[in-house]
Amino acid sequence: MTIPFDNQLQTQRLAQVFRNTTATYKFYWFIAILELVRRTQRSRFSFREIVADMVAQAWYPIHYYKLSFGFADQLGKTCLNLQKQLDIPIAEERSSVRDILEHSMEIPMFKNELLSLLNYVPYRFLSPWIHTSVDKEMIERSQHFENEALYAIHTKPEFYIEINPCWISYLERNNRVLEDFCYWNLMLFLQARNPNVPDIANKLVRPIERGNLKPQRTFWEVLMKTGHEVYCIYTDKKLTPNQFDLDHFVPWSYVLHDMMWNLTPSDSSVNSSKSNRLPEESVYLPKMAEQHRAAIRAFSQMPSRGTDKVLSDFSVLGTTVNELAVLNKEDFYQLYHRTFSPMLQIAENMGFEKWQLL
């Protein structure tokens, strides 16, 4: 993916910014600038409002999806520290996180931690235009917009940047495309550091809404209404068609899908308390495997009821529904063990917490 060309600007210099990147700072610095240009229609932005937006942009990938930004990346560590110190909910809206952080900069401790993220990136970002590693010199030369640099750095009354007038129209006109360019490269960067994590691309921003589980619910409702007894694997409570939730055995925030083989009907109170925590594999996976095996066997003996399509999800496991229906209990469990055990271990390594039924 490339950035939009403009015959009046040296857009290749902007593209050079993201070559040989070793941390996420440049991506989030530029994403924050694009967001501020779009939201405020201003051309001057203080360091404090840019860094608040950077952390707010990184908040969901770090806290909700547990992505690793790399051992040396301070942005991820700062997100984790600030969440604990300020007690901000991990699923807080980005705009709310940004507002909280901006107000927190009135407190020296938080201001210092946030602004420490900007020790290098505002200056190194301009390297394709201005060739110096001395910050003071970078500031002075940027104020003349040397080589049509993207912005100038000013230090009074506080540190802020001023977008070069010749770039403003370009940033406004191509705002979303440039943001997509950043996210595409950020996705590649993070995929290399989270090689076993699925669907990185959809874990960079907070989802607008979750999927509709109506077809999956209908599957279990049909079984219950036709006399098949279904029990919650966590409480052993018998479930009824109107009183059950569907729980993602491995949290949705890790798998990012609603496939049938990872969904188990459960008591509503348990589903709420479990949230995005990990169940104990040795206790609950055998129960879910048997629950699913019995359901597939029962459903395979029924005439089509319009919910057969959801069973196609099981093909991801490398076998057909007909083959699953004739597996014995041990073979079915071994298939689930091979599928779930690596996911649960990786999720735990990423920081997903273990869950215990109280």
Q: Does the pLDDT at position 221 exceed 80?
A: yes
Helix (H, G, I), strand (E, B) or coil at 154: strand
Q: Could you report the per-residue pLDDT of 230-243, keeping only the tens digit for each?
A: 999 999 999 999 89
Residue 75 lies inside a defined structural domain of this protein = yes
Considering the domain architecture, whether residues 198 and 221 belong to the same structural domain is answered as no
Helix (H, G, I), strand (E, B) or coil at 31: helix
* Cross-strand pairs, 246: 265
How far apart CA 358 and CA 355 sit, in angstroms, is: 9
Helix (H, G, I), strand (E, B) or coil at 162: strand
When pLDDT is cut at 50, 70 and 90, the band that residue 208 belongs to is low
Q: Give the tokens for residue 352.
A: 């997903």
Considering the domain architecture, whether residues 186 and 231 belong to the same structural domain is answered as no
Considering the domain architecture, whether residues 134 and 278 belong to the same structural domain is answered as no
Helix (H, G, I), strand (E, B) or coil at 346: helix
Q: How many CA atoms does the CB half-sphere of 10 hold within 13 Å? A: 13
The residue among 183, 203, 223 that closes a domain is 203
What is the DSSP code string of 246-275?
Answer: EEESS-HHHH----GGGEEEE-HHHHHHHT
What is the pTM for the complete model shown?
A: 0.78
For the chain, helix (H) and strand (E) counts, in that order, are 16, 5
How far apart CA 83 and CA 222 sit, in angstroms, is: 44
Write out the residue range of the structural domain in which residue 258 sits: 214-350
Q: What residue has token string 């201005």?
A: 130
How far apart CA 302 and CA 90 sit, in angstroms, is: 44
Residue 303 lies inside a defined structural domain of this protein = yes
Overall residue count recorded for the chain in this entry: 358
The residue among 203, 225, 246 that closes a domain is 203
Q: Give the tokens for residue 157.
A: 């009354």
**Closest CA relative to residue 84, chosen from 62, 57, 112, 68:** 62
Residue 358 lies inside a defined structural domain of this protein = no
Considering the domain architecture, whether residues 184 and 271 belong to the same structural domain is answered as no
Residue 259 lies inside a defined structural domain of this protein = yes
Q: Does the pLDDT at position 173 exceed 80?
A: yes
Considering the domain architecture, whether residues 191 and 132 belong to the same structural domain is answered as yes
Identify the residue with better confidence: 240 or 306.
240
Tell me how many domains the chain contains. 2
Residue 53 lies inside a defined structural domain of this protein = yes
The residue among 169, 203, 237 that closes a domain is 203
Q: Could you report the per-residue pLDDT of 307-344, keeping only the tens digit for each?
A: 567 788 888 888 888 899 899 999 999 999 999 999 99
Q: Could you report the per-residue pLDDT of 137-165, keeping only the tens digit for each?
A: 999 999 999 999 999 999 999 999 999 99
Q: What residue has token string 């501020």?
A: 36
Residue 160 lies inside a defined structural domain of this protein = yes
pLDDT at 271: 74
Please say whether the beta carbons of 314 and 289 come within 8 A: no
